[in-house]
Structure formats: C-alpha cells, structure tokens
Structure 1
Amino acid sequence: MAEKASPPHHAGHRDRLRARFAKAGGDALADYELLELFLFRSIPRRDVKPLAKDLIARFGDLGGVAAAPVQALTDIKGVSEKTAIDLKLLQAASARMALEGALDRPVISSWSALITYCRTAMQHEPVEQFRVLFLNKKNRLMADEVISRGTVDQAPVFPREVVKRALAHEASAIILVHNHPSGDVTPSGADVEITKTIVDAAKPFNIIVHDHLIIGRETTASFKSLGLL
C-alpha cells in the first residue's frame, strides 16, 4: 500500500497565520503577512511567503502593491494576470470603502475621512491625475470624478470641463485634488495658476472652490491651509 502523501510544508504555516489573524486581527501582522493571507486564495497550492516579500520589496508597502499596474505586477516572477487582477480588486475595494466613509457627509465634520479616501485612491498612482469632488448646498460630498490623467509629472486640466461637470452634478462647491507621484507636495507655479483659473471660471456660476489638495506618498498639502486659496 502506498504511503499517504505528506501535506506541503507551507500548509501548517498558513494555518498558523490564519490563527494569528483570527486572534489578534490585522494589526498583529506585518504587511507581507497580510499580503500572504490575501494570496492564499489566489495561489492555493504554493508557498506565497517569498512572493509576498518580493512584492513588498518592489512596490514599497501593501498599498503600493495593490495600486501597481497589472503589467508591473505580472513582471514579478510568480504573479499571473489572474493574481494581478485579484490585487487590483483589493485596491478597488479599499478605495470604495474609503469613499463610503466620506460620501454624503458634511466635509467639515468628515474631513479626515475625505483625506483618507483621497490618499487611498491616489497616493500610489504612478502618473499624475486630477480629480474633482462635488459638494451640494449642505457641503456634503455627492460624487467625484477623475477629470484628467497625465504623465509622471503633469496632468492637463481644462477649467471649462471642471465647471461643466460641476453644473452637471448641480454642485454648489468643489474640491480639487491631484497627486504628485514624486512625493513632493509643494505646489508648483502651474498648480497655483490652474487653481486661480478654475476659481475664476466657477465664480459666475456661484460654484465655490473650497480647497485644492495635493496628495503625495507620505503627506498631503492643502492650498487653503497654505494661504493659496
């Protein structure tokens, strides 16, 4: 009679990691361990600990892994297109949950939730994008849209398009948001100029520009706090 095959060596590790998570939650696990837990279902029959560590080393942290483009993810040995799409699902779910924390709430009382959403959605973006948040008369967030995407260091913004979308949403106010992939959140001369142009374009329609946020990898800059708006 043939001997029963032994379970793979990583099976016990997976059980122990799941048990740690069940007992103490995500705070007790390192980024690569949380990533391991996620990859267990995507890659069920292989030890994914080395892969999780490789992904964190390449993209910096868990958020960076989830935000990486599919092509960049599949460039990592062991990551199939299916696994890459699973990781993009993780990013989409995180952004959606962050948005739900800010949606339909007054921005003054939910400012931290708003910043969390913007950072979740944009801080790891490899190219610059320009996003507009639309607020109603009670300053509640109704919707947001990505107006433009650019190269690694610029995103063309069209003030008339911003105002057009605000009118379509019947917004009374807007918040401008864009990211700096370089990580430096210092407003550029072009950032200041485009903000002034949008403010002037929105004024005849009684649409207020509350703020312009610049999202970096580690920090966020506010035009209002900097006295630029």
Structure 2
Amino acid sequence: MLRSRRRHRPQTLGALRALGIILGGTCGLGGSARAAEEGQGMIAGAELAMASAYYYRGEDIFDGTLNLQPTLWLGWAFERAELAAELWGAFPLHDRQRLRPVRDEVDLTLQATIAASERLELSAGLLLSFVPADGADPFTEALVGASLDLGAGFSVEVAAAVALESETGIHVQAGPAWTGALGSAFELELAATVGGSRYRGEDAAFTELALSAALTADLGAGFAASMSALYGYSPATRRQIPAVSVALARGW
C-alpha cells in the first residue's frame, strides 16, 4: 500500500520549482484527505504559490521578480499504484515587458508511482514545458524518482530529470523529510533538498539548497488544506529564493 502522504499530492510544493526541484512528496498535502487513503480513490486539488524569483536549472528566468505559481492536479490511487496529472504555471507580477521573451510558462506533468515494497516507492513521468510568448515547441523532460520510508515519520527521496532535446542535460536532487501528526487534525512536514544540474554544456553544475515546511489541516468530508514555506539558496549564483504556498485538496 502506498503511504497516505503520496495519495494527497502528486508532486512537491509548486514554489519548489523556483529552484527546479521535481518529483518526491516533499511539502505536499499530507495525510488528510482520507477518502483515498485506504485502497482506491481519487484526489483533486489546487495550489497557489508566490516566489521571489524563478530559476530553471541555473538559468535566470525571473531573477528578483515576484511571481505567482499556480498548480492544478488530479490523481488516481489504486491498491499499489498511483497516476497523477499536474498543470503548473509561472507568471511574473511586474517587469512583464522586459520579461516578454520568457514570461508566462506553463508545464504539464504526467506521473506514475508504484509501491515496490512496503517502504519503497518508485516514480516515473514526463514533463512538457510551454512558453507561449516564444512560440517554440514544448521543452520535454523524463522524470524518475524513488522514496524510501525509514520509519518514525522519516523518509529519503531521490529524483532526476533528463532533458529530451538536442541540447541534453540532467538535474539530480536528494534529501530527507519528516512527517508527524500534531493532534488529530494537523500534520507537519519538514524537508531539506540539495540538487544540481548540468545543462547546455556547462562545465560546472548549478547547485541549489532548500529547506521547506508544510502544515496540513484535515477539514473533514475528504477536504484538506495546507500552508507551506520554502527557503532556497543557490551557492553558484548567491541567490536567496523564499516562497510561500497555500493549497486545498479533496479526496473521494
């Protein structure tokens, strides 16, 4: 059986995209939409994140520009597997004329997760990234990941994204997470992530570090709400990227 945390959020906090972080269960809507927890079920939700900047694999997209990152997701949970679809966007709130060549990105992610054992989950997916302003074909990445439950609320997650374009690249990330109950209706999740990328023939990897926290409330009737915060830092660019997020989900 997949851990309930997986059933409530197919990907990470949308604001983690400010650092290019992908896959895993970090900072999601954890164990609250109980309808999908035992056996088959469906989960749908929406999230709105605000980030101080947006870097993609080390490339400056919205440097120092406040931007909104909304997310819609839909997941189907089976006995030992889950299918999920996520639509994510990044929209700068100012300097839009200056950012015209790269503004308003929209990503579609399709992901499958299976329980390889009682403690190990494996994920694979495909990401299609669109930038309507430039009229180019979508940028595509293959996604793979693994999550190991260590017990006592602790887990370790590893993920990678491989570009499928002519200018290939790879992004790898890993980190621990802890999830614990706060009373009968709340859950706290803390996570740390380190990642690096090698894109467009760059000699050195772009390194990013992130600390995140999420508080989830069980609202009853299958509903769950979450508030999340992220602090990201890139030693390579000396950029700090704080972000906050709110989300609402329902399970059936």
One fold, TM greater than 0.5? no
Higher RCO, Cα 8 Å, sep 6+: 2
Select the structure that is richer in strand.
2
Structure 1 or 2: more helix by fraction: 1
TM-score when normalising by structure 2: 0.30
Q: Highest CA radius of gyration, 1 or 2?
A: 1
